[in-house]
């Protein structure tokens, strides 16, 4: 971790933040969160607070462009190469190379599919269980069936990573 003068990192002792993670600004990372190498967390304007049990994979970019605190809840999954500039609640999945603009806000259990681009022209809060998928970033509401299994899988995923990552 590159210590910088104005940077202030608060990382829980049970969180795993790998080497080679690019972090800048005021960042708080909660318990059990895993940040893979080559991930980027930029608190450019305001601070970023990441909850517990999140997984931030390689090449993911978490960026706060705003002044206020960007709160990311618990058990979110940021897959490889995604770019997130928005706050969110719990259990969201941002798939590979998806991009979410800062005008959007996610509630819980949302899924942004691979390669989807979510740019809201005005402030927008995605409902719970919103699924964005496909090349046209179509939306639908997930029924929520299979949610517990997915939560279980997410927990196992995080546990495995905690054991395996250096």
Contact positions vs other proteins (CB under 8 A): 111, 113, 131, 133-134, 138-140, 142-143, 145-149, 151-152, 155
Q: What share of the chain is helix, strand, coil (3-state, %, to 5)?
A: 10, 35, 55
Nearest CB to other proteins, comparing residues 46 and 115? 115
Nearest CB to other proteins, comparing residues 12 and 139? 139
Nearest CB to other proteins, comparing residues 79 and 85? 79
Instruction: Quote the least distance from Cβ 148 to other proteins, whole Å.
Output: 4
* Residue from 49, 118, 110 nearest 83 by CA: 118
Nearest CB to other proteins, comparing residues 20 and 152? 152
Instruction: Quote the least distance from Cβ 114 to other proteins, whole Å.
Output: 8
Strand runs labelled E in 12-76: 16-17, 22-24, 26-29, 34-35, 40-43, 48-50, 55-56, 61-64, 70-72
Two tokens, residue 60: 């993911």
Instruction: Quote the least distance from Cβ 141 to other proteins, whole Å.
Output: 9
3-state secondary structure of 1: coil
Instruction: Quote the least distance from Cβ 43 to other proteins, whole Å.
Output: 29
């Amino acid at each position: 971790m590159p210590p910088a003068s104005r940077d202030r990192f608060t990382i829980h002792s049970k969180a795993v933040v790998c080497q080679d993670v690019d972090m800048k600004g005021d960042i708080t990372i909660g318990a059990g969160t895993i940040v893979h190498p080559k991930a980027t967390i930029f608190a450019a304007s305001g601070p970023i607070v990441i909850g517990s049990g999140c997984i931030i994979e390689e090449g993911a970019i978490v960026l706060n462009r705003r002044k206020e605190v960007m709160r990311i809840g618990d058990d979110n999954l940021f897959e490889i190469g995604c770019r997130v500039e928005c706050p969110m609640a719990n259990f969201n999945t941002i798939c590979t190379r998806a991009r979410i603009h800062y005008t959007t806000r996610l509630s819980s259990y949302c899924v942004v599919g691979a390669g989807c681009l979510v740019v809201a022209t005005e402030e927008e809060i995605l409902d719970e269980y919103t699924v964005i998928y496909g090349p046209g970033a179509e939306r639908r509401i997930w029924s929520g069936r299979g949610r517990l299994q997915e939560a279980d899988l997410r927990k196992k995923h995080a546990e495995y990573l905690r054991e395996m990552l250096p």
